[in-house]
Chain A
């Protein structure tokens, strides 16, 4: 089955700096990779996703890159703000089925 690893487990950055979270997956048939943000005490919410036919996707300050050959994808957050502080989860799935989540990265943006 699919296995998703995520690094780092915790990340602290200064406000205004960039943050990068990396995930690797094991199933080469996985073709959909969402990222979820979970604020303290709240539900996970989708922030961006990418499909295997695309190498990069950007939405304002967040972007995701995908390297299918290496089976890894990354979340990039630029100009970080305190409200970006949360736990971020990557996930991998095949055709939108059987989502497997990474273990999460706790991002702290320091003022």
Chain B
């Protein structure tokens, strides 16, 4: 059973397109995250949601819009994709906002051409 699952795993798309990445966790956790890992492997938090409410919104372009329909899901929608958006996007969850251990999904490899 996959604890944190995200789809698609691979995505190749053209500049200017709009795409979404979906994430679901079956751990019963209250908090979910989106992280971006660039080509240099830096892991940077983008968003954090606790019980469907936005807690952290780092400095990311407003072309990125997270949506949490319930606490088990946190989707990421990206408008007007740019070349620099190419990265691996990891969804993650923790038991609570102070839940210490972060469990990552398998990652979504986004390539913008």
Do A99 and B45 touch across chains, with their CB atoms under 8 A apart? Answer: yes
Question: Is B105 a contact of A97 with CB atoms below 8 Å?
Answer: no
Whole-angstrom distance between the alpha carbons of A101 and B44 in the complex? 7
- Min CB distance, A11 to chain B, in Å? 14
Number of B interface residues at 8 Å Cβ cutoff, please give it. 21
Question: Of B21-29, B71-79, B93-101, which stretch is located at the interface?
Answer: B93-101
Q: Which of B41, B96, B97, B105 has the most CB of A within 10 A?
A: B41
B105 contacts which chain A residues (CB < 8 A)? Answer: 43
Please report the total number of A residues contacting B with Cβ < 8 Å.
22
Interface of B is mostly: loop
Cβ-based interface call for B104 (8 A): yes
Interface string of B91-113 (1 = CB under 8 A from A): 00010111111111111000000
Establish whether residues A97 and B41, one from each chain, have CB atoms under 8 Å apart when the complex forms: no
**B103 contacts which chain A residues (CB < 8 A)?**
46
- Determine if B106 and A42 form an interchain contact, defined as CB atoms under 8 angstroms apart: yes
> What residues on B are CB-neighbors of A106 within 8 Å?
41
Decide if B41 touches A104 in the complex (CB within 8 Å): yes
Are B99 and A101 in contact (CB-based, < 8 A)?
no
Contact between chains at A103 and B97 (CB < 8 Å) = no
Report which of B44, B98, B104, B107 forms a contact with A97, defined as CB distance below 8 A. Answer: B98
Instruction: Please tell me if the beta carbons of A34 and B43 are within 8 angstroms of each other in the complex.
Output: no
A15-53 contact mask (Cβ, 8 Å, vs B): 1 or 0:
000000000000000001010001000111110010000
Give the B-binding residues of A (Cβ under 8 A). 32, 34, 38, 42-46, 49, 87, 89, 93, 95-101, 103-104, 106
Top 7 A-B pairs, shortest CB-CB distance? A96-B98, A96-B100, A43-B104, A101-B43, A104-B41, A95-B98, A44-B104
Question: Which B residues lie at the A interface, using CB under 8 A?
Answer: 40-45, 56, 90, 94, 96-107
